[in-house]
Structure formats: C-alpha cells, structure tokens
Chains A and B, each alone.
Chain A
Amino acid sequence: MAYSDKVIDHYNNPRNVGSFDKGDADVGTGIVGAPECGDVMKLQLRINPESRVIEDARFKTFGCGSAIASSSYVTELVKGKHIEEAMTIKNTVIVQELNLPPVKIHCSVLAEDAIKAAIGDWKKQHEDARPSAEPRKAQEG
C-alpha cells in the first residue's frame, strides 16, 4: 500500500496524541471501531460549555496508517469549530486532504464517526444532566 506524503507525515508526526484527564467535565469522548479490520480509535474533544467551541482535541488510534493520519488530521480540523459545525464534517474532506485510495475510505469514516461520537458524549453529559445539576447560566446555545 503506497501512502500519500500527507498520510506519512501525520503518521510519523501525529498531532495531539494522547488523552485528557478522565475527570475533566468539559471533555467528550468518542470510541469507534471498524469491524472490517478490527481497528479502534478514541477521540477526545475539550468543549467550552459557554461558547460550545472545541478548544482542544486528543486522539489514540490503534490501527492502520490511514486511520492514524485521519484522526491526527481531524484533531487539527475541529479545533476552533463550534460543535454544530464540527458535526457536519464529512469523511470526504479527510479523503481529499490525505489523498486516501478507495480501500482506505473506511478509515476516514472512522474519524468522522469519532467526532460525532465524542460530541454526542459531551452533549449527553451536559444536556441530559442540565436541569438538575447545572448552576451555570441557564441559556447558552
């Protein structure tokens, strides 16, 4: 499999590898996998509860080079974006940026799904729990 230069760059110098502290209340975590190959990806987003802007991101991916590059790229892509905007990111953007061949499309789908899962997780913690346990200013977002 010939990887594009951008994939190799992200693979050799992955951006934002790691995890945030488990106790950090502003962090949403998405864990997704590709059952075709058994690869898994964890994406964490730190989201400002007032502005709902993604301030920082971390990933850990155990998988192929394209999956690592896709998640690395995504951590850069989502930073500074409002969560609703981040929700609209499509895997095709990743495919284009990294020049992924057709057999590696599912690796980019994984990264797209990870964003959605992480934001979903954050929303679940912040919105479902809001009425009872949220002394914060009532109407943001």
Chain B
Amino acid sequence: MVTCPSCVRTQPLALVCAGCGAPIGASVDLFAALNLPRRLTIDPEALERAYHNLSRRIHPDRFGSASVRIRDASLRATALLTRAYRTLRDPAARGRYWLELHGHKLGDDNQRVPANLAALVFETQERLAELRDERTPGNLAAARARREEVARALDAAGLELAENFARWDADGVATADGEHAARFAELKAVLSKIAYLTTLHRDIDRELETARAA
C-alpha cells in the first residue's frame, strides 16, 4: 500500500493516485505503469494515448511549486513512465521484458546460433569485408542485396514474435508447465534471432554508409 502525497489517500501501489490523479510514483510493473492490461499484444495507438495522457498529468513542470514529496513523486513517476513507454513500444524489448518479469534471462544457456542464421551472418560479413577492400559496383550491389535479405528475415521474425505473443494472450500465464516452458524457449529463440539480425542489419548499414561517404 502507498499513500498519495497530494490527497493522502492510502491505496495499492500505483503510478498515479486513484483518487486525485496526482503522481505517486510507486514502483509498479511496466504494464501497470501505463495502465495497460498485462498482455503482450499492444495496440500502438492505445499505447501512445496512454503515455501522452499520463505524461501530461504527472509532468514535473506542473509541480514546480509543490512540496518536495510531490515533486519527487512526479520525477519518479515520469522516469518509470518513460521506461515503460520505451520498453513496451518496441516488440523485441517488450518480449525481453516479459522474460525478465517471469524470472528468465535471454542469455542464460542460450549461446547456440542456429546453423542457417550463422551462415547468413558469416556470409554477409564476408561480403561486407569485400566491400571494405574494394568499393566496386558489384560489391555494393551484393551488400545491398544482403541488406534486403536481412530486412525480410527481420520481418518474418517479427511475425513469429507476434504469434508467440498471441499465444500468451490467449491463455494468460496460467498454462500447463510443459507448454509454458516450451513457449518461453520459443520466445527466447525468436528474440535471439531478432538480436542477431538487428546487429547484422546495423553492420550492413554502417558499411554502406561508409562506402557512400568515400
């Protein structure tokens, strides 16, 4: 329980007061911070709306002349809200947060890179090395083709992630243990894939950028 520093109403932990709407800034999970249900499928517009509404209400500028306790509450609430917004608006970050929320870590026991993904990474990096050595039109075209291939793979992985999210949402967290474990494993696998592809995409972009500048 927590007491609102503005209207002194006692209530369950919350970002803002249920009575007067002033900032409390208690530490709640990121879904609760945005006043969203604990569901992985999030409508981006609803997220934007929730964020902007809340952020206007608790903004430190509004409490410049308030008491220290209220100003502190506003700062805490704003920091948490910002973190919630940045985390939940990005599906991959949202998925990683879901793991964290359930005591899982993406990196634990998860160092194997699937063979086809590894092949894509190493072949692409070789093309980039060739481009670095020789900025020929052929090498440039090869790197660009790779970028498209990686972008397509990222799109496909994004769909896979959305499907995994939908399965969690369909029956919440209360599933049979075996299925539960399998679903966490699947979530880890697709998040890892997205991480490797995102890093690769960034490397291609950098190399193309350098080539363009030269």
Given contacts A31-B118, A60-B122, A62-B125, contact A38 B113 (CB under 8 A): no
B164 proximal to A (CB < 8 A): no
A-B pairs with beta carbons under 8 A, tally? 56
Would you call A38 and B196 a contact (CB within 8 A)?
A: yes
Q: Is B107 an interface residue (CB 8 A)?
A: yes
Asked if B118 contacts A39 (CB within 8 A), the reply is no
Q: Is A131 an interface residue (CB 8 A)?
A: no
Complex-state Cα separation, A38 to B121, whole angstroms: 10
Of the listed stretches A3-11, A75-83, A94-102, A109-117, chain B binds A109-117
B195 contacts the other chain (CB 8 A)? yes
B111 at the interface (CB under 8 A from A): yes
Once A32-B111, A34-B107 are accepted as A-B contacts, the answer to whether A42 and B122 lie under 8 Å apart by CB is yes
Task: List residues of chain B with CB within 8 A of the CB of A42.
Answer: 118, 122
Taking the complex as formed, is B136 at the interface, i.e. its CB lies under 8 A from any CB of chain A? Answer: no
State in angstroms the CA–CA spacing of A37 and B107 once bound together.
9
Whether the Cβ atoms of B107 and A36 lie closer than 8 Å is: yes
Interface centre among A31, A38, A62, A117 (most CB of B within 10 A): A38
Contacting residue for A35 out of B118, B195, B203, CB 8 A: B195
Kindly provide the distance from the CB of B104 to the nearest chain A CB, expressed in whole angstroms. Answer: 12
Per-residue CB contact flags for chain A residues 107-141 toward chain B (1 = under 8 Å, else 0) read: 00110010001000000000000000000000000
Q: Which of A34, A35, A62, A106 contacts B121 (CB 8 A)?
A: A62
Set A31, A36, A38: member contacting B200, Cβ < 8 A: A38
- Answer whether residue A33 sits at the interface, using C-beta atoms and an 8 A cutoff: yes
B contact patch SS:
helix
Closest B residue to A35 by beta carbon equals: B192
Beta-carbon contact of B203 and A33 below 8 Å: no
Instruction: Verify if B147 is at the interface (C-beta below 8 Å from A).
Output: no
A45 within 8 A of B: no
Q: Are A40 and B121 closer than 8 Å at their CB atoms?
A: yes
Q: Is the CB of A35 within 8 A of B199?
A: no
A-B contacts, 17 of them at CB < 8 A, read A31-B113, A33-B113, A33-B192, A34-B111, A35-B106, A35-B110, A35-B188, A37-B195, A38-B195, A38-B197, A60-B122, A60-B125, A62-B203, A109-B111, A110-B111, A113-B111, A117-B112
Beyond A31-B112, A35-B110, A38-B195, 9 additional contacts (C-beta under 8 Å) are A33-B112, A33-B192, A35-B107, A35-B111, A35-B192, A37-B199, A38-B199, A40-B122, A113-B111
Closest CB pairs A-B (n = 4): A38-B199, A35-B192, A38-B195, A33-B113
